[in-house]
Amino acid sequence: MAPVIRELSRFPEQVELKVAVTAQHREMLDQVLSVFGITPDFDLNIMRHGQSLAEITTRSLAGLDRLFANEKPDMVLVQGDALAVFSGALAAFYHKVPVGHVEAGLRTGSKYDPFPEEMVRRLTSHVAELHFAPTPAARDNLLAEGIAADRIYVTGNTVIDALLSVAASLPDEPPPDGLREILVTAHRRENWGEPHRQVFLALRDLVQAHPDVRVVFALHRNPEIRRAAREVLGGVERVELIEPPDYAPFVRYMKRAYLVITDSGGIQEEAPSLGKPVLVTRNTTERPEGVATGTARLVGTNRETVFREASRLLTDSSAYASMALARNPYGDGHAAERIREAIFHYFGVGCPPHG
């Protein structure tokens, strides 16, 4: 949401902008706010260790309900698929405030995969008034669910706006020691347990089979994921288990990586923008455009499959080039500008967004 905040802040005579955060993930939130120089006007600070999905939802909903009652906004913007997104949309609905959903229309078609994000997106779509779809395919998903065409805007994704602005400020640098670096993240709830363990075993196999490869694994803060990763990969030569970097350092890791292995949604968009092939350790994705254009490949969580697909990219230069040079379908860095134009147009100011 940072690019949208920055874009709306350029128009102080037309917009009184207020930023609210739930702080579902306190540490991750704070470092991102610092990178983009954002000071929230309201901070619900709901984070509690071990909180359930129901607790996140109800505490977000209650806090945002009180906030909207006091502030009486003309519009509420929510972004993505976190539980606070639907809580924010529902709280706004209770106060009859129109909702704009940034990054709308992503779907896998399976309500439990990703869990709970798929249903967060679906439910939010039927509360929202304006839908900022990152791609034509996301727009088509919304149309298929009965969302009015004149309420959908294809804008590109703001994550690309943010990424490109940060990446441009960072130097190009090779990995240390001349090794090819594989950047890894793992956090998806449906992969907890044995699926993640299978992926971690595949990573161990990779460094043992390819002596010119290093794995850099940015550990999620979930204690179960950290325990499993350390159990399989702790002490393995050329495997670095690192604390989750702040946003700018993580972009540096992506820039210097040879390829990325992840179950993250956003990284499926970010890494291809930097020309990095992505192997997605999931069985479904709400971002099929990357798979269709060849920037990403779904490989699941089977140990042998993950090892085989990664090894192919490490040994077959043409296979690597076909992914690294494929067209990124997720945006051109101007999504926030189009979103601002759509909001202004909704309130009777200016023209619809440019293409």
Report the pLDDT averaged over residues 272-279.
94
- Quote the pLDDT of residue 246: 87
Q: Which residue has the higher pLDDT, 51 or 128?
A: 128
- Whether residue 16 lies in the annotated active site: no
Core vs surface per residue 224-246: b (16+ CB within 10 A) or e: ebeebbeebbeeeebbebeebee
Does 247 share its domain with 199? yes
Contact 338, 353 (CB under 8 A): yes
**CB of 307 within 8 A of CB of 320?**
no
- Region 100-120: mean pLDDT is 95
Q: Say if residue 279 is exposed, middle or buried (CB neighbours under 10 Å; 0-12, 13-18, 19+).
A: buried
Q: Is pLDDT at 20 greater than 90 in this prediction?
A: yes
Confidence (pLDDT) at 355:
59
**Residues 181 and 145 reside in one and the same domain:** no
For residues 117 and 254, state if they share a domain: no
Q: Are residues 320 and 339 in the same domain?
A: no
Closest by CA to 242, choosing from 214, 205, 268, is 214
Name residue, tokens 């090779």: 174
Q: What is the CATH number of the domain that holds 85?
A: 3.40.50.2000
Average pLDDT over residues 83-93: 97
Q: Are 284 and 265 in contact (CB under 8 A)?
A: no
Residue 329 lies in a domain: no
Encoded tokens for 147 = 């969302």
Catalytic hit among 7, 117, 286, 289: 117
Q: Which two tokens stand for residue 238?
A: 């050329």
Within a domain: residue 168? Answer: no
Interval 70-74 mean pLDDT: 98
Residue at 351 is within a domain? no
pLDDT number for residue 223: 87
For the chain, what percent of residues have pLDDT higher than 70?
100
Statement: residue 326 has pLDDT above 80: yes
Instruction: Pick the range with the lowest mean pLDDT from 38-42, 138-142, 221-225, 294-298.
Output: 221-225
- The yes-or-no answer on residue 340 being catalytic is no
How many domains is the chain partitioned into structurally? 2
> In the sheet where 99-102 sits, what is the strand order?
76-79, 99-102, 130-133, 152-154
Is 220 noted as a catalytic residue in this protein?
A: yes
- 194 and 312 inside one domain: yes
Flag the least confident range among 43-52, 78-87, 231-240. 43-52
Which structural domain, as residue segments, surrounds residue 88?
2-156+334-346
- One domain for residues 117 and 201: no
Q: What's the pLDDT band for 50 if we cut at 50, 70, 90?
A: confident
pLDDT digits (tens, 9 = 90+) for 238-261: 999 999 998 899 999 999 999 999
Please report the DSSP string for 90-133 in residue order. Answer: HHHHHTT--EEEET-----S-TTSSTTHHHHHHHHHTT-SEEEE
Q: Is residue 214 flagged as an active site residue?
A: no
Active site residue 189: yes
8 Å CB contact between 229 and 186: yes
User: What percentage of the chain exceeds 90 in pLDDT?
Assistant: 81
| Position 353 confidence tier, pLDDT thresholds 50, 70, 90 | confident
- 20 and 91 in a single domain? The answer is yes
Is 224 in the same domain as 274?
yes
Instruction: Classify residue 353: in a domain, yes or no.
Output: no
- Report the distance separating Cα 330 and Cα 194, nearest Å: 32
Question: Which one of 7, 81, 118, 269 is the catalytic residue?
Answer: 81
pLDDT band per the 50, 70, 90 thresholds, residue 24: confident
